[in-house]
């Protein structure tokens, strides 16, 4: 395949790393100078020295809860935006509520790359079924489509009869929206005899795309690919025709960290997705998405050379309540950090004879005398609860990103 969106997609990993790290240092300096919240949180940070992944990993994590808190104190953007008010073209609200700015910067949400990979080309019309109400999803598609040279039918969700009528009349080249709504449209078209044969490609997001549903779309003539995006960040990663993982967008830096912390995990291990966007107007740095994923080794067979992730693998927020006390993944990680002998770890919460029971399972190759007892003491001190400690062999615990596994039943 040689039909790439631009030359950035096929540059060498070394050239990409050099360009991204130079852009990162500029972004940190820009955020400190123009966004009051970052001026405070990055005070004392030498921006020029933040030119590598290790240096990035030492910066503070920005979590969604902090975003909500900051915006409540300093509306509407919590001091995180670095764009002049006169350049803001739209303001959106996503659940929280959290407010997101959009400026007039072309393809502000960087969606053109994912649309191109999904098969959309200049002159195509896109049937866009993402919402235009409150959230930025509809605008994400619009701004990317316009840069790509595509027209858009702003359908939004709902009104199935009108959706299939519009497809039959306008004959768009493809669909963008959730996979479940595409199925509803195609089912309604089959039921009513409406002609949707113009649809040959689709970019879907917001839900999982099971292989069986993807195959069903293919049988109906629609090649569906996925992308991973959030209202705060825009596009994070996207599928190509190779369908082997999600390729990270060229305008972001992705880290996979242990849930509840900012500590990177080894390649291949499941963890929480942290994203640093290089958008100077809204420079989110080490933003915790709350989503789980893992880095895939190597590069895509399609020829794109950027890092790949496995796509969305669940939520990272595993906070639970035990005996009336909240236990957070960050507390469990702090326990493990006290004991360098520990590799992977998992706090299993069960209910035995109507009592909550915590067991911290720790992978440990070397087990000096008294290790389990020392870890149990750390559990009591940092989690404020007593718990058992079980030492297991390396490789015993599943690679699924869970720090807290609540298996309690209440039958």
pLDDT digit string, tens, across residues 288-321? 998 899 999 999 999 999 999 998 887 777 888 8
The answer to whether 316 and 333 have CB atoms below 8 angstroms apart is no
Upstream peptide bond of 97 is cis (omega within 30 degrees of 0): yes
CATH architecture of 320-406: 2-Layer Sandwich (3.30)
pLDDT of residue 355: 77
Query: Which helix (DSSP H) or strand (DSSP E) does residue 368 occupy?
Result: none
Average pLDDT over residues 8-30: 97
| 403 φψ region: left (φ > 0), alpha (ψ -120 to 50), beta (else) | alpha
Q: Taking all residues of the chain, what is their mean pLDDT, rounded to a whole number?
A: 94
Domain at 13-315, CATH class = alpha beta
pLDDT of residue 410: 61
Average pLDDT over residues 159-172: 96
pLDDT of residue 411: 54
Lateral strand order in the sheet of 125-128: 151-154, 125-128, 174-177, 201-204, 223-230, 234-238, 246-248, 308-309, 295-296
For the chain, residues classed under CATH 3.30.300.30 are: 320-406
Reported as a single tens digit per residue, the pLDDT across 110-126 is 999 999 999 999 999 99
For the chain, residues classed under CATH 3.40.50.12780 are: 13-315
């Amino acid at each position: 395949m040689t039909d790439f969106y631009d030359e950035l997609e096929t540059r060498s990993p070394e050239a990409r790393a050099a360009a991204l790290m130079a852009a990162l240092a500029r972004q940190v300096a820009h955020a400190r100078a123009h966004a009051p919240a970052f001026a405070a949180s990055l005070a004392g940070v030498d921006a020029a020295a933040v030119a590598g992944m290790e240096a990035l990993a030492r910066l503070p994590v920005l979590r969604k809860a902090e975003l909500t808190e900051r915006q409540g104190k300093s509306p509407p953007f919590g001091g995180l935006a670095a764009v002049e008010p006169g350049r803001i073209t739209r303001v959106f609200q996503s659940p929280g509520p959290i407010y997101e700015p959009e400026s007039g910067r072309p393809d502000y949400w960087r969606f053109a790359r994912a649309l191109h990979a999904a098969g959309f080309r200049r002159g195509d019309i896109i049937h866009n079924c993402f919402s235009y109400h409150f959230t930025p999803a509809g605008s994400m598609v619009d701004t990317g489509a316009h840069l790509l040279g595509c027209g858009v039918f702003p359908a939004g969700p709902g009104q199935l009869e009108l959706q299939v009528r519009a497809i039959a009349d306008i004959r768009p080249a493809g669909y963008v929206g959730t996979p479940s709504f595409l199925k509803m449209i195609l089912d309604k078209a089959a039921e009513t005899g409406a002609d949707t044969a113009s649809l040959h490609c689709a970019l879907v997001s917001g839900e999982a795309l099971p292989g069986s549903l993807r195959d069903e779309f293919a049988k109906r003539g629609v090649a569906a690919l996925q992308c991973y995006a959030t209202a705060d960040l825009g596009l994070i990663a996207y599928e190509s025709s190779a369908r082997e993982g999600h390729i990270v967008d060229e305008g972001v830096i992705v880290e996979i960290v242990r849930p509840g912390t900012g500590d990177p995990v080894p390649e291949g291990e499941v963890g929480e997705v942290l994203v640093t966007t290089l958008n100077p107007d809204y420079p989110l740095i080490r933003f915790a998405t709350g989503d789980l994923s893992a880095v895939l080794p190597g590069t895509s067979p399609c020829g794109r050379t950027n890092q790949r992730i496995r796509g969305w693998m669940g939520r990272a927020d595993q906070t639970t309540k035990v005996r009336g006390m909240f236990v957070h993944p960050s507390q469990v990680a702090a326990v493990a950090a006290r004991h360098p002998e520990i590799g992977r770890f998992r706090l299993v919460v069960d209910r035995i004879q109507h009592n909550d029971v915590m067991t911290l399972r720790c992978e440990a190759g070397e087990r000096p005398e008294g290790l389990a007892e020392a870890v149990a003491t750390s559990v009591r001190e940092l989690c404020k609860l007593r718990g058992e400690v079980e030492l297991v062999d390396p490789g015993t615990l599943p690679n699924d990103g869970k720090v807290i596994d609540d298996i309690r039943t209440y039958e």
